[in-house]
Chain A
Amino acid sequence: MKILVAVKRVVDYAVKVRVKPDRTAVDTASAKMSMNPFCEIAVEEALRLREAGAAAEVVAATVGPAASADTLRTALAMGADRAVHVLHDPDPARPLLPLAVAKILRALAIQENPGLFILGKQAIDDDCNQTGQMLAGLLNWPQGTFASKVIVDKEKQTATVEREVDGGIETICLDLPAVITTDLRLNQPRYATLPNIMKAKSKVIKKVTPAELNVDIRSDMEVVQVDEPPKRKAGVILSSVDELLDKLKNEARVL
């Protein structure tokens, strides 16, 4: 079985982003970029499934500008076998939407014929939490979203997925092929070692365009403006619990 993993290049999770003065977008020009943390977890899970004998090959894919190749190299250095880069230069006013990404990934799934497609549950830049579900819908495959545990049964061609839901942990069973999206507690992604980073340089990254995949990138969303969130007024440091209780009762009136 082959596993396809989708990864996204985003502003590093530790960077506090600023809105551009013209309010058209978030300023990402000089920000440090990294692989989306949920995508790292997706790569790690695919590698673990391969190491456990449940999969033979792990293919990483991304949709993005030329610079996104770095993210694919990271996935290859972690241990992915090869990669596919769907080149797309985004327009800030008409961002690439999850539906378009899902259609591109569907085209890749049809080409590659994987038994499992693993994605992160959301990208930490657009915070959409949509692509995996849309991909599953387009392919008419079952979906296991927000996964905190995945067990693949090769014989039965099923995956048992524990999901993080509002009320606790839900377990579902999916027929393969399926789409799984990762939650934070699925695993602890490995670091790429220097030898593996060197080895990754000789692994293949295939480049394609959405047009070659016959995917029409349509955007039905227009960014009107981007604003800073309202600032909270400065707080005060209190010296005692009594003072706190007094403030909560008489000033904030929340007790």
Chain B
Amino acid sequence: MVMAAALLAGALRRGRAGGGARYFAGESLRRLVSTLVVAEHEGGLVKPSSLSALAAAEAIAKENKVSLLLGGSGPTLHKAAQHAASSHPLVNEVLVADSDVFAHPLAEPWAELLRSVQQKGGYSHVIASSTSFGKNLLPRAAALLDVSPVTDVTAISEPRVFVRPIYAGNALCTVRYTGENPCMMSIRSTSFSPTTESMPETKVAPITQVDLSFLNEVSSRKSSWVNLTSQDTERPDLANACVVVTGGRGLKSAENFKLLEQLAEKLGAAVGATRAAVDAGYVPNELQVGQTGKIVAPELYIAFGVSGAIQHLAGMRDSKVIVAVNKDADAPIFQVADYGIVGDLFQVLGELLRKMPDKK
């Protein structure tokens, strides 16, 4: 009788009728939701992709208790922790792992950290963003915890039901996680917009230091970080840019990519590339957009000399407006483009450079 009343209340709260047992399970899950978000930071700020992971935590449950985990060392870590503490209304605490061991994103100590924090916190969900950091770390930690993670979640319909693209985004697979806690996932940051509402001044989550005694038990270090070579660029970050201009094999040379950069400059855009352009050495690999490169979903995506192979479309098909410039009228890119120009890309590019008003 009591249970029936609880069921009814649960069904009423959710505002629709349906199978009782499912709702009961749903309700009890809902009450037990608590999420650990593994966040990345840079220059004293939580990265936008990690703020998207917080939006995903909110999509799991409106009353989710979120712990945000940050690792690293030095003043930027502590600045980032302060940013994290007031980054989202659901953030309940910020966990800080302050050690040189976490200064570089090596999967081995990070996975041990995640295991230790999970074992103490008993979270129902663990979320990281599908960045190279998240993809490197999360599956290793999941194996240590003996659970199966979900990669690249693009939508959350119930606390344990997720949508993720498979076959280079040519199918969307809805999966239900039926295993033990925690339910671990990496989320596609372009599918979850970080919250824009400002936090009330008073709501600042406490910052706690993580107990790192587990590091003593971990056997001798088996990996070491040597260096990172990156192209310094003033362009906005490709994964989060509002406008992306991309070049393919049709650009013909690294020199010609400079023209794209000029256009990007005018638009305040990021520059992307296809695999062909990267393989030909026109641009560095981190600009690759596609199934195996970066996934972008800007307001405006302009593709020059891009044929539109399945693997490239996988990385940009969720852009709001797609423009394609290609001399081949049969190029597959025109099937997803909102606006297309069939013609010589250099002519179009030159004309755009002359006529495009300066912006941003």
A98, A133, A142, A145: the one within 8 Å of B222 (CB): A142
Within 8 A of A (CB), among B313-331: 317, 320-323, 329
Q: Let me know if B166 and A127 touch, CB within 8 A.
A: yes
Q: Indicate if A1 sits at the interface (CB-CB under 8 A).
A: no
Q: Indicate if A91 sits at the interface (CB-CB under 8 A).
A: no
Residues of B close to A236: CB separation below 8 A: 338-340
Q: Let me know if A220 and B148 touch, CB within 8 A.
A: yes
Stretch at the interface among A52-60, A79-87, A166-174: A166-174
Stretch at the interface among A62-70, A108-116, A202-210, A223-231: A223-231
Residues of B close to A211: CB separation below 8 A: none
Q: Indicate if A198 sits at the interface (CB-CB under 8 A).
A: no
Q: How far is the CA of A42 from the CA of B164 in the complex (A)?
A: 26
Q: Let me know if B231 and A238 touch, CB within 8 A.
A: no
Residues of B close to A14: CB separation below 8 A: 310
Check A220/B299 contact, CB under 8 A, given A174-B222, A226-B171, A227-B171. Answer: no
Q: Let me know if A220 and B229 touch, CB within 8 A.
A: no
B219, B230, B310, B320: the one within 8 Å of A13 (CB): B310
Q: Let me know if B317 and A255 touch, CB within 8 A.
A: no
Q: Let me know if A137 and B231 touch, CB within 8 A.
A: no
Residues of A close to B138: CB separation below 8 A: 133
Q: Let me know if B338 and A133 touch, CB within 8 A.
A: no
A-B contact count (CB 8 A): 249
Q: Indicate if B92 sits at the interface (CB-CB under 8 A).
A: no
Q: How far is the CA of A240 from the CA of B165 in the complex (A)?
A: 36
Residues of A close to B342: CB separation below 8 A: 237
Mark each residue of chain B from 273 to 316: 1 if its CB lies under 8 Å from any CB of chain A, else 0.
00100110000111000011010000110000000001100000
Q: Let me know if B108 and A244 touch, CB within 8 A.
A: no
B residues with a Cβ closer than 8 A to A are 105-108, 111, 131-133, 135-144, 146-152, 161, 164-180, 219, 222-231, 239, 243, 275, 278-279, 284-286, 291-292, 294, 299-300, 310-311, 317, 320-323, 329, 334, 336-342, 348, 351-352, 355-357, 359
A residues with a Cβ closer than 8 A to B are 11, 13-14, 16-17, 19, 26, 38, 97-99, 102, 121-122, 124-138, 140-146, 148, 160, 163-175, 178, 183-185, 219-229, 232-233, 235-242, 244-245, 247-248, 252, 254-255
